[in-house]
Structure 1
Amino acid sequence: MSDFVNGFWGYFISVVAVGGVVWCVWLLYTQRRWLSTKPVNGQVEDTGHVWDGDLTELNNPVPSWWTWMYLLACVFALGYLFFMPGLGEYKGSLGYSSAEEVARNQAKLAEAVRPIYARFETMTVPQIAADPGAREIGQRLFLNTCAQCHGSDAKGGPSFPNLADGDWLHGGSPEAIMQTITQGRVGVMPPWKGVIDPKTAGDIAQYVRSLSGLTADPVRVFRGKREFANYCVACHGVDGKGNQSLGAPNLTDEVWLYGSSEATIVQTILEGRQNRMPAHEDVLTPDQIKILTAWVWGLSNKPDAKPQATEKTAAR
């Protein structure tokens, strides 16, 4: 509640919160005479509304217990806003923060599960990838944390990389994978609309398709190669094999993140692409990241020991 990027919203929330309580109290005050009026001789005022022929709507006064309950609720609301964060940027006199509570709970959880990961502390990533128990833990971490984007089989989908094919945008070493999981990645293919016209983009797409051995028009490939050299080599290289330090894809390996059709490639060239792999350093502990790194690395590398058959099936 207190983490607004603009001070206006802090004041806006404060006015709404306090104004609502004040309005409730004002309403009770202005209606106090009616609230305290008791029926004379047990006769209750008739509103004149009759339903279904014999169901009369009466105007009974509100019970005093309800009035006091209403007032106590208002007092409770004001007390809550004083002690707890609820008035815009005001953090409350108790200094409570849900983010700090989450951090404390995460620290307790990390301490509780530390014994489970203790035996893997001195092991390398390939050694962990060869351990059946570690692979089971890694797979569960993957299913809980990564499968939403990369799929339960880790083979990804449109705009989400396949983690089991040995093709890497930023490198497939244990260190690179661990950095990706820990700090995240941001991949940007700049849009060339306004610089490259659709016809030229189509020629480049034909050349790119030819790099992977796909069917392409030789004449357009010739033109596209020249334009590729003008616009694309800075990131993808003269040979089209990409640059892992930039996250620029290899265009010659028959692996496509969005698709290999000319229309899709033209769309990528003209409109650009932007992908983000979120950082998990605040979600997973360092021990969990190491185990998860080993599991992902083991999908496309042969660990020191032969995986169990059931785990092979689960990783497909």
Structure 2
Amino acid sequence: MTAGWSWYVIVLVAINILGCVWLLWWTGKRRPGDPAPTDTSHIWDGDLTEYNKPMPKWWINLFYITIVFAIGYLIYFPGLGAIAGVAGWTSSGEHAAAKAREDAKLEQTFAPYAGKSIDVLAGNPKALALGRSIFNNTCATCHGSTAQGAIGYPNLTDDIWHWGGTPDRILQTVLDGREGVMPEWGKVLTGMGGDNAVDYVVAYVRTLSDPASMQNNYMAAQGKALYEGVCVACHGIDGKGNQELGAPNLTDNYWLYGNSSESLRQTITSGRHGTMPAHRQLLGETRARLAAAYVWSLSHPVGKPPATTVQ
């Protein structure tokens, strides 16, 4: 609060208090020439008379005591502009103290799960219930309440993991986030193969999940050479990707940004930039473990053998 606003508040409070004192004093005293309390001439039904008697002294004194209490309150607590008050109380301090108490309760709740592997936590019903709650409050905004994702947001219920699907890799993703970047290759490919170069690569990439479609496919044949000149650095010669880079497997027919030709063309031409935020600071390690355990359980339910293909 600036000094100007602080003085504005102080003056306004002082005027209101002094105004209340003056009003009580002015209206609570009788002056020479005032009519008698019974002399109002307001009579109804012959015996109902309106009087004009002053308020009892105890009532007026109670108002004065209230004003004195208000002055003491404003001295003790911060109510006069930027003056802190002798108690040193602040709303931010009150919030911090309340937060510390609630955080201590949360720590007691989460303490039994600290440091445990997420595949172990996934077998604990109580841990899964907590993990699901954390997921719904934090992760469902992007991945959906069913965790099946959307265009640009991965489906967490299948066995396809661009950055690896082991417990440690999933936990690392939740804790520290991921930065997936697909560079813009439109100009490079056009320079190498002409105006149709991107379409050639799209055609070849589609054959990676259906090798039989490569036969007698002129566009795919043209795209194969372009792919091997540019794309293999991240996706590999066989198109199975690289989990260290987050480069997706192109042979599984799963497309994070959609499988239409237009979507694939845009991905190659203009690139993509996907960000998974880090949650270490937001959730803390134990809550992040619980959320990761819930995510891991979606593709590894109890009683189901682990998936043989982790991508």
Class of the TM-score when normalised by the shorter of the 2 chains: 0.5 to 0.7
1:138–1:292 Cα contact (<8 Å) kept = yes
| CA deviation vs aligned residue, 1:183-231 (integer Å, no higher than 9, x gap) | 1111110112322225101000001111122967711111111100011
Matched with 1:225 is 224
**Residue 192 of structure 2 corresponds to residue 192 of structure 1:** no
- Distance in 1 between residues matched to 2:184 and 2:98, nearest whole Å: 43
Cα 1:277–1:295, aligned 2, differ >3 Å: closer, same or farther?
same
Matched with 1:154 is 147
Matched with 2:22 is none
**Residue 266 of structure 2 corresponds to residue 267 of structure 1:** yes
Matched with 2:35 is none
2:115–2:286 Cα contact (<8 Å) kept = no
The offset of 1:274, in angstroms, is: 0.4
Structure with max Cα Rg: 2
Cα 1:241–1:97, aligned 2, differ >3 Å: closer, same or farther?
farther
Q: Secondary structure at the match of 1:195?
A: helix
Q: How many residues align?
A: 225
Matched with 2:126 is 133
**Residue 206 of structure 2 corresponds to residue 209 of structure 1:** yes
The offset of 1:122, in angstroms, is: 6.0
Amino acid in the other structure paired with 1:118 = A
- Distance in 2 between residues matched to 1:250 and 1:101, nearest whole Å: 52
> When the two structures are superposed, what TM-score results if normalisation uses the length of structure 1?
0.63
Matched with 2:278 is 279
- Distance in 1 between residues matched to 2:252 and 2:130, nearest whole Å: 32
**Residue 158 of structure 2 corresponds to residue 165 of structure 1:** yes
- Distance in 2 between residues matched to 1:283 and 1:254, nearest whole Å: 34
Amino acid in the other structure paired with 1:292 = A
Cα 1:263–1:97, aligned 2, differ >3 Å: closer, same or farther?
farther
- Distance in 1 between residues matched to 2:97 and 2:201, nearest whole Å: 53
Matched with 1:296 is 295
| CA deviation vs aligned residue, 1:145-173 (integer Å, no higher than 9, x gap) | 00110011111010001111111111111
1:209–1:260 Cα contact (<8 Å) kept = no
- Distance in 2 between residues matched to 1:136 and 1:223, nearest whole Å: 52
> When the two structures are superposed, what TM-score results if normalisation uses the length of structure 2?
0.64
Amino acid in the other structure paired with 1:267 = Q
**Structure 2: unaligned runs, 5 residues or longer:** 9-77, 305-311
| CA deviation vs aligned residue, 1:223-262 (integer Å, no higher than 9, x gap) | 1111000110001111111111011111111111011122
Identity %: 41
1:240–1:251 Cα contact (<8 Å) kept = yes
Amino acid in the other structure paired with 1:293 = A
Cα 1:241–1:265, aligned 2, differ >3 Å: closer, same or farther?
same
- Distance in 2 between residues matched to 1:117 and 1:277, nearest whole Å: 24
Amino acid in the other structure paired with 2:136 = L
The offset of 1:105, in angstroms, is: 6.2
**Residue 166 of structure 2 corresponds to residue 178 of structure 1:** no
Matched with 2:104 is 111
Amino acid in the other structure paired with 2:208 = L
Cα 1:292–1:271, aligned 2, differ >3 Å: closer, same or farther?
same
Which has the higher mean CA deviation after the structures are superposed, 117-126 or 264-273?
Answer: 117-126
Matched with 2:239 is 240
Cα 1:105–1:229, aligned 2, differ >3 Å: closer, same or farther?
farther
Q: Secondary structure at the match of 1:274?
A: strand
Which has the higher mean CA deviation after the structures are superposed, 123-132 or 138-147?
Answer: 123-132
Cα 1:247–1:104, aligned 2, differ >3 Å: closer, same or farther?
farther
2:180–2:274 Cα contact (<8 Å) kept = yes
The offset of 1:113, in angstroms, is: 1.3
Q: Secondary structure at the match of 2:151?
A: coil
Q: Secondary structure at the match of 2:200?
A: helix
1:110–1:285 Cα contact (<8 Å) kept = no
**Residue 257 of structure 2 corresponds to residue 258 of structure 1:** yes
The offset of 1:118, in angstroms, is: 2.5
